[in-house]
Chain A
């Protein structure tokens, strides 16, 4: 089933605070989008709006052209929401809790029993089904949240910090689980502060800061933004492909930066401790020649390698870390 979720001119203001300020983006079936931004950027507010738990100040969110605010009942059947808050009910068992949500979503008879069983197995809750929620660890409660979001097999999944509080093993399992759900054709929007986790599972990312979308696109386009100099043009008006190179040396990093900036095809250089990162417009042959010339000049280089941009780089490059 092809589902397209579109966020159009969405605004949510709390008094003078513009939690979400006129954002537009979209995601569809078979894709997992990372929703990243600093604290207070408006991620949770946006996710709550998509999950029909709040009303916007302006704008709309549509699922295949049906507004979620006009028809929340239709939207809720299609959305599975994993909030950042853990379940607060304590004196109820895991099985009863999942069963309650299955009933609440209108699953009946054998179909309900099978769904509850499947979800418990899928999330690894089957061994804990008779335990009360109060007796569960934070990670297990997180699984319960995931279980309840999956119980009605929704085509859209909105996950707000699903990996928070999970141990390394559980995180790996969660990654595998999300990959599996993406394969099943679900449209997934996932927020997390641990960006390395999102790198492996997401096809695209939406970066938000101070309630505004700074970048939205597939993974490659996001990574390109990590190379801050990309998009530069040469004299002929052609786009220059810039490679980031990381040079580790014993000393004289500052001196090297000054020298590098005088050389051709160097589009920028900066130091981090005894490391130099430069934007280089040459090919591999020219890179090798650059290395040889630097060694000849007496720089004690211990490492010279291409620096692959990560989601973290892109994030750091695009956001200013300003809080609101």
Chain B
């Protein structure tokens, strides 16, 4: 019975292959052995110097040993392992070798999941190797068991996020030149490590970390949620990037990004509500404000990417469009396509703005009101992105549609966005000089969100910003009208394949024939 069950459960093939490769990798095994040897020497040294009768908890030698173990563990799990994952993934995605992925019928989701879980499995193996030394530090006193477990948990979550980021970078290597990705990847991993290490050192500086209380658990819990969400986000992006471009690969991103944002918003507001009840003296609005800014940036970036998508819907996507009218209407923003991206961005941001400005502001969930500057900053950022992207779209559609790929929209938009900024810097070497002059200030504020946001500090600048804001919104509306025909055309083309049933029958026939032949 058990054997039958085991036979029925099929493990992800990528998970098996990757784990096999990792445990045989000289880079992984060599590094672990080297660090374990160092730890072993440190442990022996601590044993000889540490035992001097009964030592109070705070003064135990175990604390120092644990610090060394943590740093080494962080190095292995946050640098070596993600770098190994990045290099193997990057190599497999290279032109000559990518048949490993794309020649089989494995889905992109299976590939990313398999690789990610393999990384977690190797991480578990590394933890099990380091754990005896960590336990030894507990016996040498100076650190509590919960603190040890929390450290392992914290470093592991960081490692899993960096690994997810490594997969995103690896997947990006399909589109960006290798040397650039390598440099960014290594720089990103090193930056992440240095910030993590400094964070851990800072935590250890405060003795209260060794006795857990709410002041430690709250930020730890908050960061854990954020890191998990980021990991999921990176993995989804990596999955989208390695998917066939003919498929609706944007679908999971457009579903999970708003869901993630709204779930976290809900969680933080709920948490804030309870915290406010018990700790009325704490001002808890900062997490909401950070979240609003991060969400605005994410939505803006993905709206921008949406503009650069294929203008023509592939047959594969059309094949997946629902036949039911209501369902089709609901699913429209979640399908790949430039028009769909605009709708998705505007709807998602509008809901976010509504939640923060009307639905939850001045309610028991928040302390007072959320800083209006934060709300305005996020909105300005989004509106400017929309403006640049719409301009890029008009330029692309008017002049470059035949000669260039749709991704050229993004390049045009970025050039358009960068030009006034560089012009200002070139002319004055100081952006703020222009904001003091009404006409220049107004004109530059239309083009540049930096000036717009910066000028909020000067109350007398309102007479510059109000016209600038109005002109910006008007320009956006004009650009929307200019693009209206194209937009309506895109909406009208969002129809399922007419010959879908016929095609479905052909596919089934082909699959069935292939299967029957193999059985025979």
Contacts and interface: CB of A to CB of B under 8 A. Distances in A.
Q: Do A and B bind each other?
A: yes
Interface of A: 1, 51-53, 55, 63-67, 69-74, 76-79, 81, 83, 85, 87-89, 91-92, 96, 100-101, 103-106, 108-109, 153, 155
28 contacts: A51-B99, A52-B244, A53-B98, A53-B102, A53-B103, A66-B503, A66-B506, A67-B315, A70-B315, A70-B319, A71-B507, A73-B105, A73-B107, A76-B104, A77-B514, A78-B514, A85-B96, A85-B99, A88-B91, A89-B100, A92-B17, A100-B16, A101-B104, A103-B16, A104-B105, A104-B106, A106-B105, A109-B8
B510 A96 contact: no
Nearest to A52: B102
Contacts of A104: 13-14, 104-106
A89 B88 CA distance: 9
Contact of B10 (A100, A101, A103): A103
A91 B244 CA distance: 29
B245 interface: yes
B514 A76 contact: no
Contacts of A66: 503, 506-507, 510
B20 interface: yes
Contacts of B510: 63-64, 66, 74, 78
Given A77-B514, A100-B16, A105 B104 contact: yes
Closest 4 CB pairs of A and B: A103-B13, A104-B104, A91-B24, A70-B315
Contacts of A155: 514, 517
A74 B7 CA distance: 26
B511 A55 contact: no
Nearest to A72: B244
A92 B244 contact: no
Interface centre among A51, A87, A104 (most CB of B within 10 A): A104
A69 B319 CA distance: 13
Interface in B255-282: none
B404 interface: no
Contacts of B24: 91-92
Contacts of B124: none
A85 B244 CA distance: 22
Contacts of A67: 315
B489 interface: no
A106 B102 CA distance: 14
A103 B20 CA distance: 15
Nearest to A132: B24
B245 A76 contact: no
Contacts of B503: 66
A269 to B, nearest CB: 47
Contact of A105 (B8, B25, B105): B105
Interface in B307-355: 314-316, 319
A70 B246 contact: yes
B246 A51 contact: no
Given A92-B24, A100-B13, 20 more contacts: A51-B99, A51-B103, A52-B102, A55-B245, A63-B510, A69-B316, A70-B314, A70-B315, A72-B246, A76-B105, A77-B514, A83-B96, A83-B99, A91-B25, A92-B17, A92-B20, A96-B20, A104-B14, A104-B105, A109-B8
Contacts of A69: 246, 316
Given A1-B514, A51-B99, A88-B97, A71 B104 contact: no
A251 B201 CA distance: 93
B274 to A, nearest CB: 47
Contacts of B513: 1
A153 B518 contact: yes
Interface string B1-40: 0000001101001101100110011000000000000000
Nearest to B110: A104
A81 B100 CA distance: 11
B246 A55 contact: yes
A84 to B, nearest CB: 8
A63 B513 CA distance: 13
Contacts of A72: 102, 244, 246
A71 B320 CA distance: 11
A191 B21 CA distance: 32
B25 A85 contact: no
Contacts of A74: 507, 510-511
B105 A77 contact: yes
A255 B195 CA distance: 87
A79 B99 CA distance: 12
Interface in B501-520: 503, 506-507, 509-511, 513-514, 516-518
A50 to B, nearest CB: 11
A153 B518 CA distance: 7
Nearest to B22: A91
B110 to A, nearest CB: 9
B103 A81 contact: yes
Given A55-B246, A76-B103, A71 B517 contact: no
A1 B92 CA distance: 33
